[in-house]
């Protein structure tokens, strides 16, 4: 179906549509339907609207489009707001914060749509359609059989006034349809350039108001964008095909439309489509797996463009303020946005580093790690004081990209006594070593290392063998960080406690 439709869309080279953006402060919106969780694509749309508003001193609005009540998922509005807040995308107007153009939930605006549908009925741009579901199904079935594009045949457009009156009197249910004209509407897409399309080629007159009194997406979307004084609509490219239809509705009201820009599809690094079933497409999933908000935000912008690209520049983590300062709508690419998961890890590592340098944020990071340690090792015996955890974090930051890695086997030695029953131990030697280490005054990496070298010589053990044994004693692992490095990290007390616990 899509391929049929797309054939009639005419693209013309991108002109500098941005230059035509008016100089007033923009009002933009993110208008999700509460049908489930916030996915990466939704966050991208919200984020780009937010950055655009922030970069131009404008207003970012959240509007809930819940006119399809059958698809509504309980709790999803709250989850959506929580995910946006987590990501640092702040709404200036919306159901959670109010504002002078509310209500911001479409199901609370039904009288407004009623009022506006009357205007279109009165000026002859819309009409009541009494066709039954059964008739529409037959039309659809026949068209498919004949390999035609299934579309409504606009029959009720031609009902007489008397017919209409009679049917209303008889209580026949009806919807309201828009009279499509065969104008080829065109607009300058802020991202794709010129778009022109004649909606009536592939569609019958679209429904604006359903028989249950709810508006359709197209109608409510146009009415609300106008009443909420939206200046720019940035949304996913899947809506591009609808924009010319929206323009016809704007015309019917005699309203000036906002400017439109459509964001390309987000795809995997190999160009394949992201599937909603893929778990990590959910913002919540990223959060649960230890991705920090600013890392996710940077990851999205790395795929989506909108910034000057400095060739050869590695990943530079930008704060929300940096992103807003550097954002340029005409730098958004119209090619599909390819995600590169390696960059997500890199962004997260950089974000951990950034947070560690900030006194307030580092306290939160330490608390998070402390609770992860306690959850993972409820019987832990070791030091999880703020100072120690921070030391470990500073050491670990070049080796990990998520805090969660620090409570996996590889780094478990930092928090628990290793279980290493199967290592061969020379207990006498270990006792000697305990005495030796106890006397060591400076417990830094170099002095520990020098001391161990000397100890191996004095006791006639090969240095690599001593190291192998000590590594197993300290971490229960065959490989990992250097022994002196580990001892330094654990601190004298902990290092000795471990050696003592196996030398008994
Ligand atoms: N409710 C639509 C959605 O779920 C909004 C599309 C638009 O931004 O116009 O994506």
In whole angstroms, what is the distance from residue 299 CA to residue 347 CA?
7
Nearest CA-CA partner of 202 in 245, 257, 237: 245
Q: How far is CA 443 from CA 257, 392, 429, 480, 500, in A?
A: 71, 16, 20, 20, 17
- For the Cβ of 221 lying below 6 angstroms from any atom of ligand 1, the answer is yes
pLDDT in tens, 291-339: 999 999 999 999 988 998 777 778 899 999 999 999 999 999 999 999 9
Tell me which residue has its CA closest to atom 3 in ligand 1: 32
| 61 in Cβ contact with 32 (< 8 Å) | no
CA distances from 161 to 28, 165, 166, 210, 328 (A): 41, 6, 9, 21, 53
Residues labelled catalytic: 276
Q: Is 320 helix (H, G, I), strand (E, B) or coil?
A: helix
Q: Which atom of ligand 1 is nearest to the CA of 32?
A: 4
pLDDT above 90 (res 165): yes
What is the rounded average pLDDT of the residues 443-462? 94
Q: State which ligand 1 atom lies nearest to the alpha carbon of 221.
A: 9
Please work out, in degrees rounded to the nearest 5, the angle formed at the alpha carbon of residue 478 by the alpha carbons of 477 and 483. Answer: 80
Q: Which residue's C-alpha comes closest to atom 2 of ligand 1? A: 32
- Residue 312 CA to ligand 1 centre (angstroms): 36
- Look at residue 278 in the predicted model and tell me its pLDDT: 60
Average pLDDT over residues 87-104: 96
As a whole number, the mean pLDDT across the chain is: 90
240 lines ligand 1 (CB under 6 A): no
- CB neighbours (10 Å) of residue 7? 10
Where do the domains of the chain lie?
7-266, 358-397, 427-503
Is 65 a pocket residue for ligand 1 (Cβ < 6 Å)? yes
Distance 230 CA to ligand 1 centre (A): 14
Closest CA to 25 of 187, 233, 232: 232
**pLDDT(21) > 70:** no
Predicted pLDDT of residue 1: 34
Nearest of 476, 366, 364 to residue 418 by alpha carbon: 476
Nearest ligand 1 atom to the CA of 35 is 4
Nearest atom, ligand 1, residue 217 CA: 1
* Mean pLDDT for the stretch of residues 248-276: 91
How much distance in Å is there from the Cα of 457 to the middle of ligand 1?
73
Comparing 78-82, 173-177, 476-480, the range with the smallest average pLDDT is 476-480
Domain spanning 7-266 has what CATH number? 3.40.50.620
pLDDT band at 2 (very low <50, low <70, confident <90, very high): very low
CATH assignment of 427-503?
A: 1.10.10.350
Cβ of 471 closer than 6 Å to ligand 1, yes or no, is no
Which residues are bridge partners to 188 per DSSP? 194
Q: Is the CB of 347 within 6 Å of ligand 1? A: no
Report CA(222)–ligand 1 centroid distance (Å). 11
Which class for 406: exposed (0-12), middle (13-18), buried (19 or more C-beta within 10 A)?
Answer: buried
Ligand 1 contact via 32 beta carbon (within 6 Å): yes
- pLDDT score at 357: 94
- Is residue 430 within 8 A of residue 502, CB to CB? The reply is yes
Longest dimension (CA), the chain: 112
* Of 208 and 503, the one with more pLDDT: 208
Tell me the CA–centroid distance for residue 35 and ligand 1, in Å.
11
Pick from 37, 42, 235, 242 the residue to mutate for probing ligand 1's pocket: most ligand atoms within 8 Å of its CB.
235
Q: What percent of the chain has pLDDT over 70?
A: 93
pLDDT digits (tens, 9 = 90+) for 108-164: 999 999 999 999 999 999 999 999 999 999 999 999 999 998 999 999 999 999 999
Q: How many helices (H) and strands (E) does the chain have?
A: 19, 12
398-447 pLDDT, tens per residue?
999 999 999 998 898 888 877 766 667 788 899 999 999 999 999 999 99
Q: Ligand 1: distance of its center to the CA of 234 in Å?
A: 10
**C-alpha of 275 from chain center:** 14
- Indicate whether 276 pLDDT > 70: no
Which atom number of ligand 1 is nearest to the Cα of residue 33? 4
Among 13-22, 84-93, 155-164, the minimum mean pLDDT is found in 13-22
Cα–Cα distance measured from residue 208 to residue 212, given in angstroms and rounded to the nearest whole number: 12
Residues 6+ apart with CB under 8 A from 359: none
Q: Transcribe 467-497 into DSSP letters.
A: HHHHHHHHHS-SSSS-HHHHHHHHHHHHHHH
Q: pLDDT tens digits for 176-217?
A: 999 999 888 899 999 999 999 999 988 999 999 999 999 999
């Amino acid at each position: 179906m899509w391929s049929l439709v797309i054939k009639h869309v005419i693209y013309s080279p991108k002109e500098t549509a941005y230059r035509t953006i008016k100089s007033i402060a923009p009002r933009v919106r993110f208008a999700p339907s509460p049908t489930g969780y916030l996915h990466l694509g939704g966050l991208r749309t919200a984020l780009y609207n937010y950055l655009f508003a922030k970069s131009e001193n404008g207003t970012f609005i959240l509007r809930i489009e819940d006119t399809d009540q059958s698809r509504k998922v309980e709790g999803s509005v709250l989850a959506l707001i929580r995910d946006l807040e987590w990501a640092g995308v702040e709404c200036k107007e919306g159901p959670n914060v109010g504002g002078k153009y509310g209500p911001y939930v479409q199901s609370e605006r039904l009288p407004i749509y009623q009022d506006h549908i009357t205007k279109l009925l009165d000026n002859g741009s819309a009409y009541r359609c009494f066709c039954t579901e059964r008739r529409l199904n037959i039309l659809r079935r026949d068209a498919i059989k004949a390999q035609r594009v299934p579309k409504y045949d606009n029959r009720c457009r031609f009902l007489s006034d008397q017919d209409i009156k009679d049917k209303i009197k008889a209580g026949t249910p009806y919807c309201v349809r828009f009279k499509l004209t065969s104008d080829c509407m065109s607009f300058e897409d802020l991202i794709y350039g010129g778009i022109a399309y004649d909606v009536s080629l592939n569609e019958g007159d679209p429904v604006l108001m359903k028989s249950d009194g709810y508006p359709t997406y197209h109608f409510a979307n146009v009415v609300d964008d106008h009443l909420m004084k939206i200046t720019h609509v940035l949304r996913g490219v899947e809506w591009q095909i609808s924009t010319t239809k929206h323009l016809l509705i704007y015309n019917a009201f005699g309203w000036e439309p906002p400017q439109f820009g459509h964001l390309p599809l987000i795809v995997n690094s190999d160009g394949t489509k992201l599937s909603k079933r893929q778990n990590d497409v959910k913002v919540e999933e990223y959060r649960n797996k230890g991705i920090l908000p600013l890392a996710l935000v940077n990851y999205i912008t790395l795929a989506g463009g909108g910034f000057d690209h400095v060739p050869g520049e590695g990943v530079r983590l930008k704060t929300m303020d940096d992103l807003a300062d550097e954002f340029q709508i005409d730098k958004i690419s119209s090619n599909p946005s390819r995600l590169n998961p390696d960059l997500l890890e890199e962004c997260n590592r950089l974000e951990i580093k950034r947070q560690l340098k900030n006194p307030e944020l580092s306290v939160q990071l330490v608390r998070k790690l402390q609770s992860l340690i306690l959850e993972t090792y409820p019987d832990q015996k070791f030091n999880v004081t703020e100072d120690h955890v921070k030391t470990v974090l500073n050491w670990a930051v070049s080796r990990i990209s998520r805090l969660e890695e620090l409570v996996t086997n590889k780094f478990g030695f930092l928090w628990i006594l290793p279980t290493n029953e199967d290592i061969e131990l020379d207990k006498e030697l270990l006792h000697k070593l305990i005495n030796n280490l106890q006397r060591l005054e400076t417990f830094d990496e170099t002095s520990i290392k020098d001391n161990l070298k000397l100890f191996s010589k004095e006791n006639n053990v090969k240095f690599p063998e001593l190291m192998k044994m000590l590594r197993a004693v300290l971490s229960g692992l065959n490989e990992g960080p250097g022994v002196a490095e580990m001892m330094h990290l654990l601190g004298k007390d902990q290092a000795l406690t471990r050696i003592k616990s196996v030398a008994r």
